Structure 1
Amino acid sequence: MAAPASPADLAAALVLQPVAALDWLVVLPVAWCIATGAILMMIRHRSAAQPLIAVFGLIVLVALDAALLWHVAESGPVTMVMGRWLPPFGIAFTVDLTGALFALTSAVVALMGAIAAIDDVNASGRRYGFYPFLMLLMAGVSGAFLTGDVFNLYVWFEVLLISSFGLLVLGSEREQIDGAVKYGFLNLVATTLFLITTGYLYGIFGTLNMADIAARAPALQMTAPLVTLTALYVLAFSMKAAAFPVNFWLPASYHTPRIVVSALFAGLLTKVGIYALIRIGVMLFPAEREQLSLALAVAAALTMLTGSLGALAQSDTRRLLGYLVISGIGAMLAGIAIGGADAIGGVIVYAVHSMLVMTALYLAIGLAARLSGGFSLHAAGGLYHQSPLFAALSLMLFFSVSGLPPFSGFWPKVMLVRAAIDGGFSWLAAILLVSGFLTMIATGRVFLLAYWRPREGQAAAVPATLTTLLPLIALTVSSSLIGLFPETLLHLAQQAASTLIEPSAYLKSVFPAGGAP
């Protein structure tokens, strides 16, 4: 008689203990966005109900992301794996402070965009899927910030890109189709490069789990072409983030869709590229990033100068803001090039600031165009006399994007300039300051021509609806509060940067037994 087989020990492959209730917050933002988007798709013909459901869904998303940020701040990085399979066998969702901060800020931006769209997107736009596309976009953005797997990062990039194509062509105007072709082609090239590089990564490491790669990378520095691998990722993510010299698609496409879509794109899409650069360059391949630091610094300087000088040359306010987005990307890329906790903390604070302020600026320029009859600075004027409150809000945003106190743009500029000087990049610190000065001139020109200069002819009435002004006021107040009371955000950003540079807590979350296999 054969001896009974001993039960298999599943502890090395499966999670056997129940998942803690708070840990479900790791995946709930993505699941909630997909579920809400599906509901909106099913009722797409009931255009009046779509904004209400979408705004409610995004309020819940903000609450979920806020709870997740609190949970991570209290407990450290948190991991959940699909099907209970332990990494590297199971696909992991791993959240640290960087991902949680980005996810919460993106949810706030999306909520403000959904409210602004109540006036900006008509019934036809709702029927053709604005709000379902928005929720799908947020599923992709949230997934990118929360995933712990490089291939899943690629998947979530694809999800947000598919939804962004839908938002970009909403309305099917000739100008929108033209912008979508430019936007789609460059992103297709970047996505293809991303996928090829990820296959290369798997060939080297035999895994795509971020914690596993971070643990194995130091041992392979002398035997594997990790610098080449990192350079390919930098190129792919630089295309998505609109860094020099692959940034020409952004000002050629961001001015074509509805203004609320441009606002959402400016606040969200390029920041996902910056987040991916931080994750790959700072946590996974820090030594290789350091070897590429000079090239990154040069690209950052040229990105900042291209953005600020391009903004000075524009008479169309939408194109001007597109160049300001590029200039901000250059500042964040400078922090990644410098490295170190202070610089990476500055990048994180700058990203939070840029998400809020660039979204608000597009909404402000959209309202200014409705008051003045278009986006041309040549025909604009008199906005201060039409609405002093609106002019004051716009001026605060102009100060913030220029890095002037006491607004949110001041603190990350200070952090980045100090880190550049301390890290031996004094020339980069000078360019950060010059770029801020040029941005101040560009935005000051807008204020003088569009707001302060008297307007010829009869002015339009101010659309003082709640859905028009509430997002603009909320985002401007947020920028002001961050500028006046920056301590909490600065503390979280420094903690987040430390976790990226020394990812032992991240690795322990994924491999609690004490290291990758």
Structure 2
Amino acid sequence: MSNLIILPIIFPFIIGAVLIFFSKSSRAQRIISGISALLMVGISAYLAVLAFQQDTVILESGDWVAPYGIILVLDNLAALMVLITSILAASCLFFAFGTISKKREKYYFYPFYFFLIVGVNGAFLTGDIFNLFVFFEVMLLASYVLIVNGGSKYQLRESFKYVILNIFGSALFIMAIAWIYSVTGTVNMAHLSERVAEINQPGIVTVIAVMFFIVFGAKGALFPLYFWLPKSYYGPPAALAALFGGLLTKVGIYAIIRMFTLVFYHEPLFTHKGIIVTAAGFTMLLGVLGAVSQFDFKRILSYHIISQVGYMVMGLGIFTPLAVAGAIYYIVHHMFVKTALFLLAGATEKITGTTDIKAMGGLIKSQPVLTWSFFIAAISLAGIPPLSGFFSKFPIILAGFQEGQWVISAVALLVGLLTLISMMKIFGYVFWGENKLTERQNNMSVTNLLIPIAPLVAFSIILGFAAEPIFTYSLHIAEQILEPSNYVNAVLKE
């Protein structure tokens, strides 16, 4: 059964390669990619069940045992991330069918869409940090092509900043890998955990840990390296902005959680409760202030990506099972809700022809389904019960107060209030008030765009009303990753 772990990597790679040969036929590309995306959901769901039943499943490529060979590791956290990735990829893909231009389809949109998923899934499943670097690069190279596809002046200018920052981050990443290898003699994550535990994380290893945090923090849009995100995610079409906003930053956050629960967990007062909590606080506050100050639909949502990743690393920084479980729950919630909101912004733009919320108004009269879908996703993002945002934020903030982290907990509460204000600003300008639409816009149907959004909004509701079993599952994952010996023993067979 362990051979199946490679499917989330090899399957989208094969599909991406096949799609290259159908670049002249939009219809063929859509059929192949649509069927493949649904198959990926089924494969990922099966692997999630397998991980839940066995806790950790290992694939030793070429029968080279750890720590010498290329190892893929499917534990509950990795399986959950792969499953959500496949769901988001399918939703955004079907949304793209109704919004993407023929020009983008002609220039290999679909192949690079699947190559992006190869990198994301590989980053979640890899068992060593060098291959983590490799899969990050696969993901980034595909994102570079997708983000400039279409070639507008704005896209090219903003994507240039995105590329430059990531090149710098990649250089720092490979330097950090070389440094940790020189100290420990290994790049296998389980072996790293064992070696760092043996030397009890001396100062030099803590410095390396900070380097890794900077690398992953830049990719996850943490303070102070978040400046690239709002404009970079504004340029691409809604389907891509949704996929990037809901998925790509979470790869960086996943890497932080993995490394700082498995390898760099010996100096929590400095790394977790010091650096990580401080970065989380500034990320939350500055991100939401950026959102409140904007009057563009997509830019408000882009700034909220920044503020919301602060909650995720806040849970890690508090570093208790309750807080980490809340962070995992919050990642799941945010991936669904943020993707849904970007897609809803895309559907709104399709009707109005703009993302300037001051130029909109009165969509509730002609688009009630779109309006109330946005309302549900918006109040969920703000953390209003009984939706998923409340039940994912509550354990993080509760754990913060329990651990005496008064300042960061107060900031988290304030950010929730400001998030609600900015979401209601969108609702007031775009959906409420005077109808500013033309007759043609009032009669426009976007049902085909709402269909792929509906499952994401439904998941937000389910995550709230089924909070108890979902939080129990999140707590199980948190307890599993907070005990590094579980991972080490499974990989090294000790």
Determine helix, strand or coil for the equivalent of 1:252: helix
Alignment equivalent of 1:279, drawn from 258, 263, 267 = 258
Are the aligned partners of 1:230 and 1:288 in contact in 2 as well (CA < 8 Å)? no
- Residue 357 of structure 1 pairs with residue 310 of structure 2: no
Partner of 1:104 in structure 2? 83
Q: CA deviation at 1:224?
A: 5.9
Q: What is the CA-CA distance between 1:223 and the residue it aligns to? A: 4.8
| Alpha-carbon shift at residue 373 of structure 1 (Å) | 2.5
Q: 5+ residue gaps in structure 2?
A: none
Task: Letter of the 2:265 partner, please give it.
Answer: P
In 1, Cα distance between equivalents of 2:29 and 2:201: 56
Aligned equivalent of 1:228, options 207, 218, 222: 207
Letter of the 2:471 counterpart: L
Separation in 1 of the partners of 2:149 and 2:138? 17
Residues of 1 paired with 2:428 and 2:203: CA distance?
56
1:346 paired to 2:326: yes
Q: Deviations over 1:445-481 (max 9, x none)?
A: 1101111011235240454355311121111011111
The equivalent position to 1:92 in structure 2, one of 71, 86, 110, is 71
Taking the aligned partners of 1:457 and 1:115, their CA distance within structure 2 comes to: 26
CA distance in 2, matches of 1:171, 1:150: 34
Q: Which letter maps to 2:322?
A: D
Q: Do the aligned residues in 2 keep the contact of 1:290 with 1:339 (CA within 8 Å)?
A: no
Structure 2 counterpart of 1:36, which letter? I
Tell me, yes or no, if the aligned pair for 1:182 and 1:252 is still in contact at 8 Å.
Answer: no
Aligned equivalent of 2:480: 499
Closer/same/farther in 2, CA of residues 223 and 487 from structure 1, 3 Å limit:
closer
Name structure 1 gaps, 5 residues minimum: 1-21
State whether structure 2 residue 171 is matched by structure 1 residue 195: no
| Partner SS for 1:56 | helix
Which amino acid in structure 2 is aligned with residue 474 of structure 1? P
Q: What corresponds to 1:265 in structure 2?
A: 244
The residue type paired with residue 144 of structure 2 is F
1:93-492 aligned at under 5 Å gives the runs 93-221=72-200, 223=202, 225-292=204-271, 293-456=273-436, 458-459=438-439, 460-461=441-442, 463-492=444-473
- Give per-residue Cα distances to partners, 1:298-343, cap 9 Å, x unaligned: 2111111111111110011111111000011111111111111111
Equivalent position to 1:508, from 470, 489, 494: 489
Alpha-carbon separation, structure 1, partners of 2:144 and 2:394: 36
Q: In 2, are the aligned partners of 1:282 and 1:289 still within 8 Å (CA)? A: no
Q: 1:76, CA displacement in angstroms?
A: 1.4
Give the superposition deviation at 1:213. Answer: 0.9
Change in CA separation of 1:463 and 1:215 when aligned onto 2, cut-off 3 Å = farther
8 A Cα contact 1:281 1:289, kept in partner = no
Instruction: Identify, as 1 or 2, the structure richer in helix.
Output: 2
Partner of 2:58: 79
Specify whether residues 257 and 476 from structure 1 end up closer, same or farther in structure 2 by C-alpha distance, changes over 3 A only: same
Cα distance in 1, alignment partners of residues 443 and 466 from structure 2: 32
Structure 2 SS opposite 1:243: coil
**Contact 1:372-1:383 within 8 A present in 2 as well:** no
Over 3 Å counting, the alpha-carbon distance change for 1:73 and 1:232 in structure 2 is same
Aligned partner of 2:155: which letter?
Answer: Q
Assess if the C-alpha contact under 8 Å between 1:290 and 1:337 holds in 2.
no
Deviations 1:176-230 (A, max 9, x none): 1012111111111111111110111111111111111111211112656111011
Alpha-carbon distance in structure 2 between the residues aligned to 1:90 and 1:137: 24
Partner Cα separation in structure 2 for residue 125 and residue 83 of structure 1: 38
Deviation string 1:90-109 (CA, Å, 9 cap, x unpaired) is 11001111111111011100
Deviations 1:361-394, CA, capped at 9 Å, x for gaps:
0111111122222010111101111111111100
| Between 217-226 and 403-412, the greater mean CA deviation after superposition | 217-226
Quote the residue 1:47 is aligned against: 26
Structure 1 stretch displaced more, 449-458 or 335-344: 449-458
Shift of 1:85: 0.6
Answer yes or no: is the 8 Å Cα contact 1:118–1:467 preserved in 2. no
After superposition, the Cα gap between the structure-2 partners of 1:462 and 1:98, relative to the gap in structure 1 and judged at 3 Å, is: farther
Per the alignment, in what secondary structure is the counterpart of residue 412 of structure 1? Answer: helix
CA distance in 2 between counterparts of 1:149 and 1:40 reads 30
Q: CA RMSD for the aligned pairs? A: 1.3
Tell me the secondary structure at the aligned position of residue 245 of structure 1: coil
Q: What do the CA deviations read for 1:144-179 (whole angstroms, capped 9, x no partner)?
A: 001111100010000000000111011001011012
Mark the structure with the bigger radius of gyration: 1
TM-score by length of 1: 0.93
Structure 1 residue 56, shift from structure 2 partner: 1.1
- SS of 2:357's equivalent in the other structure is coil
Structure 2 counterpart SS, 1:148: coil
Separation in 2 of the partners of 1:370 and 1:59? 25
SS at match of 1:94: strand
Q: Closer, same or farther in 2 for the Cα pair 1:373/1:70, shift >3 Å?
A: same
- CA, structure 1 residues 81+406, in 2 after alignment: closer, same or farther (shift >3 Å)? same
Cα distance between partner residues in 1 of 2:121 and 2:384: 30
Distance (Å, rounded) in 2 between the aligned partners of 1:192 and 1:56:
37
**Aligned partner letter, 1:197:** A
Call closer, same or farther: CA 1:29–1:123 in 2, change over 3 Å. same
Evaluate the alpha carbon distance shift between residue 213 and residue 466 of structure 1 in structure 2; reply closer, same or farther with a 3 A threshold: same
Percent identity between matched residues is 33
Letter in 2 for 1:250: L
2:234 match: secondary structure: coil
- Aligned partner letter, 1:482: L
Decide whether aligned partners of structure 1 residues 463 and 497 sit closer, same or farther in structure 2, where only a CA change above 3 A counts: farther
SS in 2 for 1:48: helix
